[in-house]
Amino acid sequence: MYDFEKRYGSIIKALLKAPKEEKGLFTLREGPYSLIEALQKKTPITCRTNCKVHSVAGNTLHTSQGIVEGDHIVLAAPLHEVKRLYPHPFWKKIPTHTMHNVHMGFLEKVLPYDGYGYLTHAQENTPILGGTFDSRMYPRNSGTSGEKISFFIGENPGSALEDQELFSLAENALTSHVKITKKPVAKALIRGDDAGVIYGPNHEEIVDKIIKNAPSNLTFLGNYIDGVSVDSSVKRAKLEAFKTL
Ligand SMILES: Cc1cc2nc3c(=O)[nH]c(=O)nc-3n(C[C@H](O)[C@H](O)[C@H](O)COP(=O)(O)OP(=O)(O)OC[C@H]3O[C@@H](n4cnc5c(N)ncnc54)[C@H](O)[C@@H]3O)c2cc1C
């Protein structure tokens, strides 16, 4: 938006005049894992899944599956992990927000709606940001008979919600927002401290400085660079691939 205002004089003018080159948001029909399957099938690369990178030192990765040596490292983890793996004082200049996920599983069809999820309005003043109906979005990954629903919970800085409070918030949303009174058979919480990136006016400049000062064997990819959509991440990945290969 900052860029729009700078280039066109106002955001409204930019919306009217700017060429429609950005594709915006898109989703892989079979879920993100289908991309890994396609890469494994169509290219000679070896994919190690369920493999956590604990640390990066030069061209060496220390992972949950042992040490991996490479010629070049492409760090494509979310920002909070990149900060841990490649500490740099400039990361502090990128503001972030917290978003926790509570996932719920049901053995039968429980959703009274056909959509993919919902977002709450800011005026509702609830920490529940929205919910996704994962089993409707990606039926292949959720089995045919059951249902999976996820809730996204925002947290104000310093409020430190306990796990039990997050589960209670999600359970309330299940009944009051989604109108489901059945109890889930499985529940899981993924805490997302530092999960979301806030793209401030000087974001591009900060990221550029970190990238330019990084060692030549290291490439950064991810949604904290150009924007939140899969499309922006893919565009950056293409750019870096042409530069590196
Ligand atoms: C609920 C939700 C819905 C969204 N819907 C859309 C949408 O419809 N369309 C759209 O364009 N965008 C959407 N987005 C945004 C989009 O999903 C992300 O911006 C995009 O996935 C970012 O891609 P990425 O490769 O940077 O990161 P991710 O897709 O987050 O990939 C990072 C990967 O790194 C792995 N990882 C993390 N730490 C480590 C470690 N230490 N070692 C090894 N691996 C690690 C993770 O497991 C993950 O697989 C959505 C986001 C959310 C949260």
For 200-223, the pLDDT digits (tens) are: 889 999 999 998 889 999 999 999
Give dist(CA 161, CA 182) in Å, integer: 25
Note if the pTM is more than 0.85: no
Question: Does 184 score more than 90 pLDDT?
Answer: yes
- Selection from 144, 147, 143, 122 nearest residue 132 by Cα: 147
Q: Quick check: CB of 61 below 6 Å from ligand 1?
A: no
Q: Quick check: CB of 52 below 6 Å from ligand 1?
A: yes
Q: Quick check: CB of 48 below 6 Å from ligand 1?
A: no
Q: State how far Cα 27 lies from the chain centre.
A: 12
Structure token digits, residue 99: 């978003």
Q: Quick check: CB of 241 below 6 Å from ligand 1?
A: no
For 77-119, the pLDDT digits (tens) are: 999 999 999 998 889 899 998 999 999 999 999 999 888 999 9
Q: Which domains does the chain have, with CATH numbers?
A: 72-95+198-245 (3.50.50.60), 96-196 (3.90.660.20)
For 138-170, the pLDDT digits (tens) are: 877 666 789 999 999 998 877 789 999 999 999
Distance 142 CA to ligand 1 centre (A): 19
Q: What is the rounded (10 degree) CA torsion for 99, 37, 24, 115?
A: -70
Could you write out the DSSP letters of every residue in 122-176?
GGG--SEEEEE-HHHH-HHHH-SS-EEEEEEEEE-TT----HHHHHHHHHHHHHH
| Residue 110, pLDDT score | 95
**Nearest-CA residue for atom 2 of ligand 1:** 132
Q: Quick check: CB of 217 below 6 Å from ligand 1?
A: no
Give dist(CA 22, CA 24) in Å, integer: 5
Question: Does 239 score more than 80 pLDDT?
Answer: yes
The kind and range of the H/E element at 197 are strand 196-197
For 19-53, the pLDDT digits (tens) are: 666 555 567 777 778 888 998 999 998 889 999 99
